[in-house]
Each structure stands twice: as structure tokens, then as C-alpha cells.
Amino acid sequence: MKLKGAQILMKVLQEEGVDTIFGYPGGAVIDIYDEFSKTDITHILVRHEQGAVHAADGYARAKGTVGVCLVTSGPGATNTVTGIASAYMDSIPIVVFTGQVPTSLIGNDAFQEVDIVGITRPCTKHNYLVKRTEDLGRIVKEAFHLARSGRPGPVLVDIPKDVSNGVIEYEEPTLKLNSYQPVYEPDIKSLEKLVALIKEAKKPLVLGGGGIILSNAAKEFTEFINKTQIPVTTSLMGLGAFPAPDPLWLGMIGMHGTYRANMTTGECDLMITVGARFDDRVTGKTDQFARQAKIVQIDIDPTSIQKNIPVTLPIVGDCKKTLAHLNNLLDKEDLGDLKAKRAKWFEQIDTWKEKARLSYEQKEDVIKPQYVIEKLYELTKGEAIITTEVGQNQMWAAQYYHLKQPNHFITSGGLGVMGFGLPAAIGAKAACPDQMVVDIAGDGSIQMNIQELATAIQFCLPVKIVLLNNQYLGMVRQWQELFYEKRYACTAMEYAPDFVKLAEAYGAVGLRATKPEEVESVLSEGLSNPGTVIMEFVVSREEGVYPMVPAGAAITEMLLV
């Protein structure tokens, strides 16, 4: 049968199970947009192309699938770059379709022409410029396969207008990816070595990362921890891989990790790392990181192993498959009472816990942001999907909202994109309409993509925004306080919109708390409202995020107050 390129695109998208696309139309993709009325794919019209990519990112993380967005050429394409880079650094599977000028005009500086393939080459897992309509179906299928397989990541497909307009005799496409063969199955002999290390270790530690969640391995990971009775921490991206209420949970590791998690890292004799790449925010000064430990690193991406930290035992493989094999091996072993064997280790960890718990002092005259997060956790029973903006709000969320399950903490970890949280929340709500979705935001970050409130309202995607307003770019201000003698250069944000009125202008609900005694009632009212709500909390202006590891310091060298 004869099909236009735009029809081929829709056909393959449906075959790939795509039910939702986030996008913004324009001339180069108008023929593709014309096909939406002929399909059952839901298109969600964002207000900025960056919002489309973040929404696709949030959708992918919440649903555990590939997120999709579609934008036009030129500025439409370039507006996606920040979102693509964020997805790339966090290994999130999304496919970004961009329009392009006709192939005959490429390279001629035509209206709204940019080399988006060249621009995004450093921040995509792969990208394509489709030169023939005959190649479109195959390339789209390859894009989805690449995005979701191995170490996931964003793939961009640039579609010239004559390709989407072209008419061909359609044939079912065949993938041509013989050179791309990710290693899913681990080496069993390496796993046997790991079992021996576990039995020998007196002070072991497990570090989990985002790879556990991306491979849907939280169940196997939790089973592994329970079998081995090893204390566990995770990176920011790994939050939710292990239930926080469990007594083996140490809290998050890293620059703003808990005292006991960071100190355990410094003293352990065996560190088993699963699906984490040893980001600088996790390790601190690398030559001081876990220097007494034998380090095992499990990751599907061989280029991530030994990249930042030397390891004793590298294991390449999918986290889920690797942990399943490891659990089977452990079932055949006589492990004895491991917790009793490591009693002194747990006593030491308890000492660290008592020395410096996560804490703050909630005074009567000012709202502490940590108190807001704790009350949010209580009222939602830890069941909400949490997205965050970036900065202090992000770290307080990570510290005080105790994640019980995977795919419930959605944040821009590697790139740290301000403005991520609101569109990501919209994407998560589109993916999980029956779930409560809450964006924890700061007054600086929320203004980066505040226009996406219109998207939430138009498409009946009621997200809740917990806005911690300290009238500062808080994280930068904190650094200026600690290291620049309180010279608050360009970080004060006393001039801002009235967020309650702004919410109402968009058709949302706006609520505000200025006193500690108002916090719970505002949260209760906002969370119970069926619509989109901004809950603004005027918080302590110079509150800091602690613990904090200063730049260049070892992870055990923390500022506690």
C-alpha cells in the first residue's frame, strides 16, 4: 500500500505502543500534525519545546517506557537541547522527532534551518537525519530500540519536510543494528567471586544507582539486600530502589547525603555498586573515596566501569538479570547469621546515626522548608510521585521525602535543570493519571517553565506544586554564605509575581502559608483539591541544606550545620 511519510510515522508509532506525544507544531511538521486526527494517539500541546522534552522524560520515568515528543525545525529543535542533555545524563529513554527543511534546502541557510543532528550529537545516544521516505519506518523502529535497550538514552530523529510528504509503497521495515549488541548476561564466574567477597566482608556496603530503576530491578535489589543483610545507600537517581523505612537503609550518599551513609563509605571494606556511575556529587574527592574497600561495580555500560573510580571486580550486565543470577547463587550458599557476624559494623553505623541525624529546628515564627516536606510525606503517606525542580528544594525533597518504591522520584540529576519539575510532573501525570503527582519547587526554578501551567489545565492533568519560596536562588546563596563571606551577588529574588494570583490567572488554585501553623492545612486543602494547585510556603530565607560536602573535599568531610 502507498503511504505518505507522515502516515508511516504514525503507523510505526502505534506499532511501538505510543499512546501519548508531547509537542509543539510548526511549518516543517504540519503534515505530521495533520495525521494526528486520524489516530488514537493523544497529543499534549506544551507551551515551550523544552517543556515537551521534560514532559516526555517524566512520562518515561513514571511509566517505565519510552517518552516521545515532536517539534518543528529551527528554534523548535534548538529549544529541545536542554531537555535532551538532561535525559542523556540521566539515561532516560526518549525519542525526539524534529522537523527539518526539505532535503534540497539543507545547507543553504533556509528559513528555520539548523543542523540539529550536529548540535545534539554530543548529548544523544544516537541521532538520525532521514534522507529518504523509504528509510523512515526503519529508522523510527531503530530509534525506539536504541532508546530503550542497553543503557537507555535519548535518540533524535530529524525529518525533512519532503520526507514526511513523500509517498512510497510501504513495506514492513527491518532493523539494521547488528553492530549494537549490549551485554545483558553477566559473567557467572565473576558473580561467584562476588559471593566469596560478600562472605568474607566484615564491613560491607551496597551503593545503588539509577540503573536499578531503569532496568526494573528494585525487587531483585531488595531481595539481594535482605539475603545479605548489607546496609544500603543510593545516589540521588537511585532513590526508591530500596524502601527508605527499612532499618538497613542509610539514606542518600553524596554531597548532601546523610552523615551515616557518607561515613560508612569511608570505612567499609567492601563496596558493591549496582547501576551507579560514581558521579562527582557521590564521590567527592576521588582519591579519598572508599579507599579501604574492595569495590565491585555492576553496570550494563562497560564505559562507565572504572571511568571515575578504580574497581576490584568489574561486572558488565543488566542490573535485573545480574541480581537475579546473584540471588540464585546466594540461595545455594550457607551464609549463616551475617548480621550477627557484622554486629560491630552495625554498632558503628548506629553511632554515626546518633551523632548526626537529619534535623532542623522548627521555630514558631518562620516556616522551615524541611518541615513542609515532612508534612507532605505524612499526608501523602509516601505514596505520591515526586518531581523536583533543582537546587535546595531538590535536596530537601531527597532528604525528607522517604521513598518507598521505584519510579516515584523524578529529578534532573546529572544536568541539574532548573525548570524541570513542572513539565516532568505533567508527563508523569499523563503516564499515571490515577497517581498523586507533586512537584517540589523553588521560587527561582518554577519561573523557568511556569507557562506549562496552561498545559496542565488544558489537558486536565492536575499536578500539585509545593513551592518553597525563600526569595533567593537558594543553593547558590548558600555557597555565597559559606565560601564568599555572604556576598549575595545576584541571588536575591525579592521581586517575583504573586504566585497565588498567577495560579488563578492560569485557571489553577493558589494557596499560601506564611506561618508554621498554616502548613498542614494548606497542604491538606491543596492535596485534596481535584485540580492543579500551587501551594506557596514562605520559608526561612537563609536556611541551608546540610550535611554538605564542600567542593574538593572527601565525602567524609561534611559540614553539619
Q: Is 537 a catalytic residue?
A: no
Q: Is 501 a catalytic residue?
A: no
Q: Is 475 a catalytic residue?
A: yes
Could you confirm whether 112 is annotated as catalytic?
Answer: yes
3-state secondary structure of 24: strand
- On the CB side of 252, CA atoms within 13 Å amount to 28
Catalytic residue among 10, 271, 395, 475: 475
Instruction: Give the span between the Cα atoms of 481 and 123, in whole angstroms.
Output: 34
- Rg over CA atoms, the chain: 24
Backbone phi and psi for residue 353, each to the nearest 5 degrees, phi listed first: -60, -45
- Asked whether the beta carbons of 341 and 198 are under 8 A apart, the reply is no
Distances (CA, A) of 148 to 67, 125, 154, 237, 364: 10, 10, 9, 18, 50
- Residue 443, classed as helix, strand or coil, is coil
Residue whose grid cell is 522534552? 53
Record the cell numbers describing residue 507, joined without a space: 485557571
The owner of cell 521516505 is 133
User: What is the amino acid identity at position 386?
Assistant: I
d(CA 471, CA 50): 25
Please tell me which residue in 161, 203, 320, 464 is annotated as part of the active site: 161
Q: Which residue has the cell 520526507?
A: 163
| Neighbouring C-beta atoms of residue 346, cutoff 10 Å | 16
Question: Could you tell me the strand order of the sheet in which 294-299 lies?
Answer: 249-252, 232-234, 204-208, 270-274, 294-299, 313-316
Nearest CA-CA partner of 348 in 259, 282, 445, 434: 259
> Contact at 8 Å (CB) between 504 and 497?
no
Catalytic residue (one of 15, 36, 63, 112): 112
- Clarify whether 399 is annotated catalytic: no
DSSP string, 417-433: -TT-HHHHHHHHHHH-T
Closest CA to 265 of 196, 207, 192: 207
Catalytic residue among 7, 10, 16, 49: 49
Q: How far is residue 315's CA from residue 296's CA, in Å, rounded to a whole number?
A: 7
| Closest C-alpha to 371, from 391, 352, 390, 399 | 399
Give how far the C-alpha of residue 335 lies from the chain's centroid of Cα atoms, to the nearest Å: 36
CA distances from 103 to 87, 133, 492 (A): 28, 11, 48
Q: Are strands 167-169 and 2-4 parallel, antiparallel or unpaired?
A: antiparallel
CA atoms within 13 A on the CB side of 437: 32
Exactly one of 111, 185, 504, 542 is catalytic; name it: 111
CA distance linking residue 298 with residue 264, whole number of Å: 20
Alpha-carbon torsion angle 162, 166, 170, 176, nearest 10 = -20
Say how many residues make up the chain. 561
Measured distance CA(309)–CA(362) in Å, rounded: 40
> Quick one: which H or E segment has residue 193?
helix 188-200
* Residue whose C-alpha cell reads 537503609 in the numeric block: 249
Catalytic residue set: 49, 111-112, 161, 475
